[in-house]
Each structure stands twice: as structure tokens, then as C-alpha cells.
Structure 1
Amino acid sequence: MQLKSPWEPRLAVGSEPIYQRLAAAIAEDLSSGKIPPGARLPAHRDLSYQLGVGLGTVTKAYGLLERQGLASSVHGRGMFATKKNLTITKAIDLSVNVPPNIMSDRLLSGTLASLASAIDAKTFGAYTPPQGIFQHRLALAGWLQRYCASVDAERMILCNSGQQALSIVLAALLAPDLCIATDDLPFPGLQMIAGLLSLQLFGIKTDFEGILPSAFDKIAHEIAAKGKRLILFTNPTAQNPTGKTMSRSRLKDIAEICRHRDVLIIEDDVYSAFSAREHLCFLDLVPERTYYINSLAKILTPGMRLGILIAPSDQLGNLLRVIHAQGSTVSPIASLVMYSGSWMESHPISRR
């Protein structure tokens, strides 16, 4: 005779799908001790009947708990809570930005299966070109042009992440007279690299749109008067960490100051896919002085560590020398996953 489950079925409060709320309720009661470690969970049909939900909903909830290591199925006996020590904290970690996890298991497994037939030992055993494989760059350029019209495969370098792309640019431009202007509350990743390279950051006053043109022009004038070179680093869309987004008119005002003051721009556009349809980039306005950075980690999934760097044509050589020196060419696996799979075209943002 099977023992009855000690758990009183319920759904967690929230607007998530029912199977997620069911799994969350069980996880919460495991954490609080209402469900003892190793206890039997209700049978699928019993739980479906008691909560008035579909049998498939219960199956998905139990499957989610199994993937989280909180439950395990014993053939012929049923589903049991694991003896895992679970602690749920109410703290929310805001130190890392990650996109919603909307990649399905089916899409991931299908992509990995297609990868097996897309790569051979000869290709895998060869060094990746420092700029990345041209067919891969061409595919990325075609996709990114819906967010930035001036994306160009010829001037594109594939990197292992957007952060690596930023590191490569700053290493290539590094000089004793170099200074960086950015938002008064700067991107943490920029602070990290600037600290390693001993680069001085100048915070620019901002408003609800981000960097104020008048404040930026003043700093650019003062830096030039000291005989130093200035680079502007900016997240024009959803600036990290404030979330501010520049309007088209603000972008044009900042671009004109950069042209007038001879300031180079590092444009971190990793959130462009979440922008308005009339999205405009500094790369569109002043391509001759813009280093454009994007990344699939913030659009698709952090597991896709693939960064995009587009540079002025006359600077490609300097950037590629840095990559050669660092031995940091893009992973052939990441670029092949992007190229052989259907990740980008399957993403809801791609169909906007």
C-alpha cells in the first residue's frame, strides 16, 4: 500500500503559468519544512483532480522540479521530494543583467544535434580567423541590420562576449593621454576594465535621457585644453545600470559634439533588440569614429557568449593585433551554434 503524500496541494501566488506556480508552491513548502525531505508527492491524477488543473500541467510542474533537483521519480512508486537542502531567499540580485529564459529545451537540443553535422574534425582542429569566419559575420550582419542599419560584415569582428569586445577596443587605444567620458553612474563592466588598464573615467551629468550634451561638451573642451584625447563610452539604449534611453535628437546632438571635438565613441548597444522601431545608432550617424558593440548574451541567453564589434575601417588592423597577442579569437562552437541553428530567427524579438 502506498503512503499518502503529506502535502496539502496549492498554487503559489503570481501571474506565471499554472505549472510554474504549482512547482513554486512545492519548492516553497520544501524550503519551509512543510514537505519533509524524501516525502512522497501527490500522484499526478490526484493532484490534477484536487487543484482542478490538467494532467499535463502537473506533469510539466513535476518535470520542472526534477530539472531543479527538487524531486525525483521512482518507477512504479511515484514522485518524491529529494533530500536536497533548499533555502529560498527573498533577495534579488541586480548585479547581473540576464534576459528572460525563453529558449525551449526542444530548440536547444535541435541546435546541438544540427551542430554535430555542421562541424567536422578538420574545421574544429583549425585556428579560427582573428576576425571570425566571414559567412558567420555575414549572417549576423543580416540579422543585426534590423536594429542598426549600418552594421557591416566587412568591418565586423566576432568576439567571445561584448565585454571582451570592449576590452579589445580599450587595449588597442590605450595611451598615457587617453581619458574616457561616460555617464555619471557608469557601466560596471567599463569600470572593471578601466581599473585594470589604469584609465581615468570622467562622469558626465545626465537627465532622464542620459548624457547631457552641454555637460559633455564642457568636459570635451576641458580635456582637449589639457592636450589629452577623449573617448565617449555610452549605452544609448537601456543604459546599465540606470535603464535610461537616448532619444534620436539626443543621439544627434551628442554625435555632432563628437564630430566637432574629435571624440571617438564606443557604443555599447547590447539592448538594441529591445528598442523602439525607429532605433538610431551612433554607428549610423558617425561611422568613421564609432566602435559599435553588441552581444547575443543579452538578447538570447548568457550561454551564447558571442560578441560583435564593428570598428572604423582604418582601425581593424590595430584591433586584430590585440586579438593575435591575446590569443582570444572567437570560439568556433559559439559561432557555429549561431550559424547552424535557428536561435536568432526563432527569438520573439526577431519577429517584431
Structure 2
Amino acid sequence: MSDIKFRQIAETIEARINTGVYPANTKLPPHRVLADELETTPTTVSKAYKLLAEKNKVESFIGRGTFVCGDSELETVIQAPEDDADYNFSILQPCLKHNVLPLQAAFQKTYATLPSELLGYIEHSGHLAHRQAGMKWAAEFGLSVSDPEQILLASGAQNALEILIQTYTKPGDCIAVEAFTYPGMLSIANLLGRRIVEVPMDDKGMCPIALKQTILSDKPKVVVIVPSHQNPTGVTMPKARREAIAKVIRAGDIWLLEDDIYGFLNETIIPAISNYIPEKSFHITSLSKAISPALRCAFIKAPKSEVRRVGACIRTSIWLASPLNFAVATQLINSGEAFAMANKQKQLATQRQTFATKQFGFLVCSSQPTSYHVWIQLPEHWRQEHFVMEAKNQQLLVSSGGYFSQQSDKSNHIRLSLMAIDDEQRFQQGIVLLADLIKGGQGSHFLF
């Protein structure tokens, strides 16, 4: 029994590490303190720490204690399936099987007549035709833009965010984000040495009054907002809330980074926040969620006054995003195929949301009818880190709510991506298994 006990304790500690209860590089509790909490012995905790050290999860130093190794949370929140039997509800991406054939056709058509100028360096941040295509894509989903010179190209939305944060903040500066935010944003801040302040949200998104107070008290240089199908809560800001947020930003000494990569999923077009404050905002969109993450095509709409500054940062960091990928993206956008692919994904998301809603009707959930994901509040008999571990043991990969905040103890949620599983029958099987697991309680995996 003691052998089983220390392994169970090791799994609990690992879950706490993965969900941010014990952040990277922090010191773990002394053996006796943790033993008292878990109602075991210091010797058993010592064995658990040793097992975790063998797995490179922790590192022990004589006289100093045991510390969490500095692994990236992105490796745990976005989990690659370990085998074909896994049900992957952790990756937020389109259902790729529907996009394979049109993508193959676009690559073949583009590369069959590849012009030589796409193979070398260019002076500006992307070819004019590619920036015009980006303008067309963003305008279709609510952005007001008429000058392609304001469109800059980046290697995905993550790269776009990093470029803008490097350009408009310096180490030690504060960045305001939504109370729950995408782990990639937290990783960027950690890597670049920026401080995160989390702004409260309600069912309409970031609260304007709270943002105003944050600007006064913490003086953030930028605020990052996902206005549509927010990751992870699924909240979409209505037009009135967007106007109210814009009013606060207009009055404050702060830049808006509007990460609108899910805008194509909105049931009706909602104006971008950037439309109301074009001189103080950067709008980001991409094709990763609508078509494929592999394209790595993102479009930044910058104020006219800032185009040269952002362009200089792009050239310093990556010189230019791959023209080959943008040539394919441009072909898809100009032919209309990109919009058809996006609409197909939205239709499938609607279908899967309907099924998930029926299965999880006994839970408190947050999502939109066309969202890629569901934000689920777990019942009291489950703790999020325990549920994630138990689900993984049953080959169900989900994302813990602890990944989406620096204050992991304030959440008892999981985020489910509904789109990564290609086969419809397997998707439905996985959802039913998850619903049954939530109803069933903690089971026998955690005995203390």
C-alpha cells in the first residue's frame, strides 16, 4: 500500500505543477508540511519527490529544498495525443479533415506558377498582394480598414503578439489581460519579463470600470483582449461593451492589442474594438483557427503612425513572414475558398456545440452556439487537477482551468476543445465518456 501511496502523491504534486498551483522555479513545501496536508508520512513524501525528480519535474538541492523545474505550460495545455486511442479535447484548432483537399489544391495551384520574387528578400513587411488579402480577410469579419499599407504580416498570432509586446513594452512593464487568458499570452509575458495584471470579467467580457481602475493603479502599457469567443471562457463582447472598452482606452495612456482570431465564428458581424480607436489599437487576425495552424499566417492592422515602428521590429526578429505561406493564403482568400472553409468550420462547431450542450446540461457551462470550445465549471466533488489526471488515465485529454490564470486556485474549470477530433462518432463517444466521468465522482484514483 505504501508503494501505491507515494505514487499517488507524486501524481497529485505533478497535477499541481501542471495546473500552476506550484509554478515553475518555485520551492515545494517541506516534507513534513506536505505530509501533514496529505495525511501521510515525511518518508512517503520524500519518495514522491524522488520519483518526480527522476521524471525531471522537480530538482532537489541539499540545504535548499526541492524546486519545480521550468517546463512550459504550453506543453501541457496543448497536448499531443500519445496514441490513436486518445480523445483529444485539449487542442483548439479547426477540424482539419475538412480542409485537407482545398489546402492541397491551393498549394498545387500556387506553387505551379510560383513567381521568383517570392523566393527572395523584400523591402517591406510582406508583398502588397498579401497585405491586400489580409485586409480583405479582416474586413469580412468586422474590421474597418481601407489601406493595405497598414497591414503587416507575422508568422501566426502568437508571433504577432510577441512582436507588439516587444515593441511597446520593456522588461518590468505591466500588461493587462482578461481574468482568464490564453496560456500563450502568459508564456510571452514570462519569457520577456513583463508583469501580468488580470482584469475582472463578466458575461460580456472585460469590465470597463475594472479596466479603468487597472490603468490608474497598475499603469499597464498595453491591454490584450480577445473580443470574440474568448479563450477560455467563450465570451463574445457585444457592440455596446466594445464601445465602452474603447472609450476607456481612448482616455488612458495605453495601447490595445485586439486578438480577434475567432471573429469569423460570430453569428453576425460585430465591429472590432479597433474601429472606435484606430489611433490607439492594433488588430490581429490569422488563418490558424479557420484553415490550418500550419499556414502560420497572421495579419496585424496598425495605426498609420506606427507602421514603420512595427515593421522595423518584424524585420529585426524574423525579417519577414514566409511569402510562400502567404501566397497560398492569398490564393485561398481571393478565390473565396478561405471563407467557405471558415463557414464549414462554423457549421461543424454549431453541430458539436449542440451535442455537447445536451450531454453537459447538468453543469454550469460557458460558450457560444458557434464556439470551438466549452468552459465547464466542475461540480464540488472534483478538483480540476484531479479531474485532468483521471481523464488522462481514461485517454481523455482536457485542459485544466489552472492553465489560464496566474491565480490557478480561483478556478475549478476545464476547457474542452470540440474540433480537434476528426471523426464524428469518436467525438460523440468522447463527450459521453467525459460527461459520465464528471457525474461519477473522483473514483478510486485519488485515495486521500
Instruction: Give the counterpart of 1:233 among 221, 224, 235.
Output: 224
Q: Cα 1:109–1:182, aligned 2, differ >3 Å: closer, same or farther?
A: closer
Structure 1 gap segments, 5+ residues each? 1-84
Cα contact 1:118–1:340 (8 A) shared by 2: no
Instruction: Give the counterpart of 2:202 among 203, 207, 210.
Output: 207
Structure 2 gap segments, 5+ residues each? 1-81, 348-448
- Per-residue Cα deviation, 1:137-178 (whole angstroms, up to 9, x for no partner): 112212321212413422000111011110110111122563
Alignment of 1:290-309 (within 5 A): 290-309=281-300
Query: Residue 96 of structure 2 aligns to a residue in which SS?
Result: coil
Query: Residue 300 of structure 2 aligns to a residue in which SS?
Result: strand
Query: Residue 154 of structure 1 aligns to a residue in which SS?
Result: helix
Partner of 2:248: 257
Query: Residue 168 of structure 1 aligns to a residue in which SS?
Result: helix
Cα displacement (A) at 1:284: 0.8
- Per-residue Cα deviation, 1:70-112 (whole angstroms, up to 9, x for no partner): xxxxxxxxxxxxxxx965134x442x31012254544233222
Partner of 1:148: 142
Instruction: Give the counterpart of 2:86 among 78, 86, 89.
Output: 89
Q: Cα 1:183–1:143, aligned 2, differ >3 Å: closer, same or farther?
A: closer
State the number of aligned residues. 261
Cα contact 2:99–2:291 (8 A) shared by 1: no
Q: Which one scores higher on RCO, CA 8 angstroms, separation ≥ 6?
A: 2
Q: Cα 1:211–1:332, aligned 2, differ >3 Å: closer, same or farther?
A: same
Partner of 1:159: 154
The runs of at least 4 consecutive aligned structure 1 residues that moved more than 6 Å come to: none
Equivalent AA in structure 1 for residue 141 of structure 2: Y
Instruction: Give the counterpart of 1:190 among 155, 170, 185.
Output: 185
Q: Does 2:208 match 1:220? A: no
Equivalent AA in structure 1 for residue 117 of structure 2: T
Cα contact 1:147–1:279 (8 A) shared by 2: yes
Instruction: Give the counterpart of 2:273 among 261, 282, 289.
Output: 282
Cα displacement (A) at 1:348: 5.1
Partner of 1:30: none
Query: Residue 347 of structure 1 aligns to a residue in which SS?
Result: helix
Cα displacement (A) at 1:235: 0.2
Q: Cα 1:229–1:182, aligned 2, differ >3 Å: closer, same or farther?
A: closer
Partner of 1:135: 129
Partner of 2:338: 344
Q: Cα 1:143–1:255, aligned 2, differ >3 Å: closer, same or farther?
A: same
Q: Which has the higher helix share?
A: 2
Cα displacement (A) at 1:290: 0.5
Partner of 1:56: none
Hey, what's the Cα distance between the residues in 2 that align with 1:222 and 1:114?
Answer: 54
Query: Residue 325 of structure 1 aligns to a residue in which SS?
Result: helix
Hey, what's the Cα distance between the residues in 2 that align with 1:290 and 1:272?
Answer: 16
Instruction: Let me know the Cα RMSD of the aligned residues.
Output: 2.3
Query: Residue 140 of structure 2 aligns to a residue in which SS?
Result: coil
Percent identity, aligned pairs only, is 25
Instruction: Give the counterpart of 2:113 among 114, 118, 122.
Output: 118
TM-score, normalised to structure 1, is 0.69
Q: Cα 1:239–1:318, aligned 2, differ >3 Å: closer, same or farther?
A: same
Q: Cα 1:329–1:178, aligned 2, differ >3 Å: closer, same or farther?
A: same
Query: Residue 291 of structure 1 aligns to a residue in which SS?
Result: strand
Cα contact 2:264–2:342 (8 A) shared by 1: no
Hey, what's the Cα distance between the residues in 2 that align with 1:339 and 1:167?
Answer: 24
Query: Residue 303 of structure 1 aligns to a residue in which SS?
Result: helix
Cα displacement (A) at 1:201: 0.7
Cα contact 1:129–1:329 (8 A) shared by 2: no
Alignment of 1:262-273 (within 5 A): 262-273=253-264
Hey, what's the Cα distance between the residues in 2 that align with 1:179 and 1:133?
Answer: 34
Cα displacement (A) at 1:129: 4.1
Cα displacement (A) at 1:185: 1.3
